[in-house]
Structure 1
């Protein structure tokens, strides 16, 4: 627990360091905090904050900078909402095209990057594992085209090579039967029902049903969440990373591989509102130099993806919260118009 004086000095130090990027000394703190404290008193408080692991003195500098733990305390207990920046409403009204979901996702990543001047990330909406309609068409001897139509109108086609040749009339019969009895169910529900019902289904329908389930499973695997990243090069201009080539290499590996990003964003999708991960505390993005501000977005009241901003720990968190919150609502609204 910090007393009011220590809290005020820590808040001032974090704000000054975010604004200037320079270690903050006792004289600067004395002026900026508005507290009438002697330099000796401020130095004593700074020593206490350093002992608590909230600030640190880089190299031989007389000033101090926040640690990830210091940023965490600042964000959780001292950050105050700021009025919306002038110009942000206009920038946030970038045209999103609800008839082109993939374009909405790409534009949202770019919007996040442009507004923040850091890296924008967003996961594409999770594909529903449900088919609204299925159809079989004969292509030739022992070759059948399976057409799967999802509730959102997405169409997937696959060619099956069957053990037996099927006439088009048999395929029409199988199509009608499957749509009547299984349409609207998830692929996993169909799989479970098929295990108990396969004995009572006619042979050709059972084999086609098993093939359709396999196709549906493959479609689900192909359409696993994809993450779109925009603005990686913005980090090249961040002075915090400029001289650390090793850190830059690790960060670009993160953006290239994307697996860790997906895990982090998946964690965010299970929370309400904006979440902030600072430094290596998430255990998912293990870099002390990075912070992530993220939020889930909804389509028709259901969380379908996550978006966020990735930048240095020395970022204007209040502004990033605004950017992420506004963009999540824009994406949700655009995709709900489909």
Structure 2
């Protein structure tokens, strides 16, 4: 298979951090232990998802604050925080605080949309303003301004015995350049580029007619890799850094090099159950899902080298399956670091 134009430069992973409602500490400890393992294996980054009113990480910044004290090198990211659940000023304070604690290793990923199941949660989340909240890009733009040091108040100085700043404190100067947008649509990719963010892609894209029109070759059934490639190119076309603008791909990959027969069967069944959703666009949003890649590292590397969007990036944050056990994640991460990563041209960080 033809190799991508550049070897894989940064290797990361993403975890959802599930836990048992009867014993939530154990699940959170497992997530932190996995991040520590990632650092020992030489991964460049570890990312956490969010899950509100579910049995997964509800406070990514709190979990990553803990991770800053248990790691020293690995970059820590969120993929992604839906800012519809957040006050941009307060979130900017939390992100800057965690970045300071980490020594400048935080990579916040965000996205826009109304909170999931908004009609069921809006009276708890926004009891007085549910009908007028803006869940569009403006919410992210406000967050970017605060993170980048734009004024949040018209007052700075001394009031009594207290000293006030007109911008978010602490201010972390490099954080603004490490803000990521999780985009599944062509419009979001363009917006992220125009606002100087980095781009997070995942295993989900929207099968929009405009995106399909950007795919080279004759029209046909929606092609995940081609649509994702159109997002990457549209993003870079509008980004101040052009072709040097950072993009990370987040497909689900499950190498089986050191897996036990039981684990291999489990992984293959997991992928088989999820395969039907990859046959075509799903739901009114026309969501298109990438197939999970399961098998020996050498075979997965060939599949990635053939993936049009993968050939356009040199950073990845491979997504760990949601429902596996701790020992499964240990095996998968070990195989990614020792088998798949090197097959893609990556070398571990030390």
Instruction: Report the TM-score, using the length of structure 2 for normalisation.
Output: 0.23
Larger Rg: 1
Higher relative contact order (CA 8 A, sep 6+): 2
